[in-house]
Amino acid sequence: MLNARVLPDPHRYAVCSHADMSIKEFYKGIFEEVFIFFHPFIKPKTIDYELFMPDTYPARSEIKEHCEMVRWKEFLKISGVSDYRQLDIGLRSIILGLNKKYADDDTAKVIMDVCEQHEIVRPTEGLFPEFIMDELLQQIKKLGHDWIWCGDEFCTERKLEYMDDIINDSNMLNYERKNLFTHDQTILLTTHWDSHFSMVCSNKETLKKLVDASQLEGFYCNDRTEIYWSLRE
């Protein structure tokens, strides 16, 4: 009988934190700070709302050209959902991403009803958002990073890409690319496969520059923040 092949532990500067532990604990000794930024909702402007179905879902470049983003703060006002925590749980409930005892089907229904009424598209989970990324990558480039590594979920495959190529063709951020990290391993952009947010990791000074310049909506992780942060009181 052949021995089972076991993957080595991933490089922590290149992958998303584990879901069953503190995010900052996972990156301890690698990154000083982590900021969770929300994936915006999508409001079609010059493209049909009905196209946002699995078989006809527009390309990232089409979404950026023909739609506008709706931030979580704005959606809270439109929907009456109480806060970011409840909104995150509602979004996870829609995709059946929570154990039944944690799910909030009432909030999930509110989100779906409001989206249908206002022709707003829910943010996708497990993918870098269509909006935000261009500006965030531009800001990273301004810090002197002309190249960035693009890796799959566990970074068993990675490719070095020229930053301008990704900025000019956002379709390069496809389903396989879950982790982007600078060549010197000082900045990581990562997204969790079952979440409607991504994370940017770096030192305090660099992270503040990126968050402020890119106007990211979200929050800094504390020592207890986990991937399923909305389930904690």
25-41 per-position pLDDT tens digit = 999 999 999 999 999 99
| Percent of the chain with pLDDT strictly greater than 90 | 88
Report residue 233's pLDDT band, with 50, 70 and 90 as the boundaries.
low
pLDDT digits (tens, 9 = 90+) for 144-166: 999 999 999 889 999 999 999 99
pTM score, whole prediction: 0.94
154: its two tokens? 């566990």
Residue 1 reports pLDDT greater than 70:
no
pLDDT number for residue 6: 86
Residue pair 217/38 in contact by the 8 Å Cβ criterion: yes
For residue 84, give every residue at least 6 positions away whose Cβ sits within 8 Å of its Cβ, in sequence order, or none: 38, 72, 76, 219, 230
More confident residue, 114 or 3: 114
Q: What is the pLDDT of residue 5?
A: 86
How is the chain split into domains, by residue range?
Answer: 12-38+127-231, 41-118
Neighbours of 222 (CB within 10 A): 11
Q: Out of 45-49, 110-114, 176-180, which region has the weakest mean confidence (pLDDT)?
A: 176-180
Q: pLDDT confidence of 182, banded at 50, 70, 90?
A: very high
Contact call for residues 10 and 151 (beta carbons, < 8 A): no
- As a whole number, the mean pLDDT across the chain is 95
